[in-house]
């Protein structure tokens, strides 16, 4: 981690609001943003594209190490490119999330992506969103947050999001998928999903996005990592 560069890590299970909240805080502070989940989704998509089995640890890790990705902004809209192909929507499907969870359980894949994630730490600061940002990637970060919410609420949020995008979905199926992913992420042998020992846990089940953003901004100001806005 770059010396004196402030880092805020935001870990937690899928659907807790990490992505939205991390983006809003990074935008508010003018900091860089690391969406670590995107790197795992892209690795899994690269495996699918090249016909590599998701449990072939050596070959998937080789793809992760040489991953050709870019995150350009077109007309104010963030894009995700994999080997020059626009895959922003493709890697945000439920199926892509399931594949990402599978490759994230592979030790060699996590090792291959570790230095790439740390390279995102640049002045004036970094908001790192993921599942092991505070425990593995940035263990010396001065402020670590663990966002959570009930599985039922996270499934409801995802269901609402899909419906708003015109995608048919089953709430009960989404709940089952979230519970299965939680079990896989928390029980894996490498970098399991859990709060860092010094993390602040925040349950977002009954909180709005603006309330969470304001609360985390207050904590950053209290730690001297940001100025009041």
Residue list for the binding site for ATP:
12-20
Classify 141 as helix, strand or coil.
coil
- Interstrand relation of 143-148 and 7-11 (parallel, antiparallel or unpaired): parallel
CA distance 69 to 36: 13
Bridge partners, residue 34, by sequence: 128
CA distance 199 to 9: 9
The residue to which tokens 């740390």 are assigned = 118
Residue 155: closest CA among 94, 90, 207, 210: 94
CA distance 4 to 10: 19
**Which tokens in the block code for residue 179?**
């519970």
The residue to which tokens 């499907």 are assigned = 93
**Which tokens in the block code for residue 12?**
């937690």
Show binding-site residues.
12-20
């Amino acid at each position: 981690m770059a010396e004196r560069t402030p880092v805020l890590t935001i870990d937690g299970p899928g659907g807790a609001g990490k992505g939205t909240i991390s983006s809003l805080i990074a935008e508010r502070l003018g900091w860089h943003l690391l969406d670590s989940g995107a790197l795992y989704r892209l690795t899994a998509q690269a495996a699918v594209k090249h016909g590599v089995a998701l449990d072939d640890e050596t070959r998937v890790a080789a793809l992760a190490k040489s991953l050709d990705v870019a995150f350009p902004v077109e007309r104010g809209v963030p894009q995700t490119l994999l080997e020059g192909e626009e895959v922003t929507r493709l890697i945000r499907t439920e199926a892509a999330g399931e594949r990402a969870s599978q490759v994230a359980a592979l030790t060699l894949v996590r090792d291959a992506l570790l230095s790439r994630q740390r390279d995102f730490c640049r002045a004036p600061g970094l908001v790192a969103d993921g599942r092991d940002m505070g425990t593995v990637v940035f263990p010396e970060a001065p402020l670590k947050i663990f966002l959570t919410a009930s599985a039922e609420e996270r499934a409801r949020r995802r269901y609402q999001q899909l419906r708003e995008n015109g995608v048919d979905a089953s709430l009960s199926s989404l709940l089952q998928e979230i519970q299965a992913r939680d079990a896989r992420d928390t029980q894996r042998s490498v970098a399991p999903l859990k709060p860092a020992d010094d993390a602040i846990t925040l349950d977002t089940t009954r909180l709005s996005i603006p309330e969470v953003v304001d609360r985390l901004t207050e904590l950053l100001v209290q730690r001297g990592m940001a100025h009041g806005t």
